[in-house]
Amino acid sequence: MINKQVANVKEALKGVSSEMTFMLGGFGLCGIPENAISELADMAVKDLTCISNNAGVDDFGLGLLLQNHQIKKMIASYVGENDEFERQMLSGELDVELIPQGTLAERCRAAQAGFPAIYTPAGYGTEVAEGKETREFDGKMYVLEMAFKADFSFVKAWKGDAAGNLIFKGTARNFNPNMCGAAIITVAEVEELVPVGALDPNQIHIPGIFVQRIFEGKNYEKRIEKRTVR
């Protein structure tokens, strides 16, 4: 068993520096790598490119890095719910690339799986396809989209072990598995680090080979963005 465990978030983020490209898991505030984001907000790194489905809210998630002006470019599918984001975007301070959600997921997965590019129908005939190669297969048009290239992936899982194996919970899974192994270094934070052998090998969502560093996170807030009840 190859041991991926690191002592804490500081050790997990070793090597992070300005101008890097990060992937960050989560959908809205669900399943985001809270510990990694919080640590990044404390570090003197800036001019970051962040690939993440959303950009957090003003005072949580990626919103923390936006407040510090640490993000230079954001690649996302939906960026509502964040006033500071809007301000920086409209002022031109922040570069924003909006792409379809399925394309975002698959460009991550392509990087994980060693595919250079994919053909997807999403965005054909729209401004998303401008400047991109398009191609017909069986009478339907597709857009060529390139695999992402990133320095670090920050993902959050429910349970994990020192071998790097991960299990996610509910819809907190979302982009997290697709980002594992999609960057040079994948850092996984988990709510509970269990002994190696405690996870059923049949139920592991992400095998440890896709993870370089793992640690048990602290003080998860797991904030609910839109509490709705019957």
**Strands, E assignment, 95-146:** 95-98, 117-120, 134-137, 140-146
Does 73 sit near other proteins (CB under 8 A)? no
- Nearest distance, CB of residue 150 and other proteins, angstroms: 13
Which partner from the list a copy of itself, other proteins, none does 148 bind, CB cut-off 5 to 8 Å by kind?
none
Does 225 sit near other proteins (CB under 8 A)? yes
- Nearest distance, CB of residue 37 and other proteins, angstroms: 16
Q: Which is nearer to other proteins, 10 or 169 (CB)?
A: 169
The helix or strand, by DSSP H or E, that contains position 87, with its residue range, turns out to be helix 83-90
Q: Which is nearer to other proteins, 64 or 179 (CB)?
A: 179
Collect all residues with Cβ–Cβ distance below 8 Å to 193 and sequence separation of at least 6. Answer: 5, 159, 160, 161, 162, 214, 215, 216
- Nearest distance, CB of residue 120 and a copy of itself, angstroms: 7
Rounded CA separation 143/145 (Å): 6
Stretch that binds other proteins, among 34-42, 43-51, 59-67, 177-185 (CB under 8 A): 177-185
Q: Measure the CA dihedral 217/210/17/58, to 10°.
A: -50
Considering only residues 71, 145, 176, 185, which one is a binding residue for other proteins as defined by CB under 8 A? 176
Q: Which is nearer to other proteins, 43 or 102 (CB)?
A: 102
Closest CA to 152 of 25, 64, 55: 25
Q: Which is nearer to a copy of itself, 142 or 175 (CB)?
A: 142
Residue 200: count other Cβ atoms within 10 Å of its Cβ.
8
Considering only residues 172, 185, 190, 193, which one is a binding residue for other proteins as defined by CB under 8 A? 172
Rounded CA separation 57/19 (Å): 23
Does 91 sit near other proteins (CB under 8 A)? no
* Residue ranges binding a copy of itself (CB under 8 A): 114-121, 137-138, 140, 142, 146, 167-170, 201-203
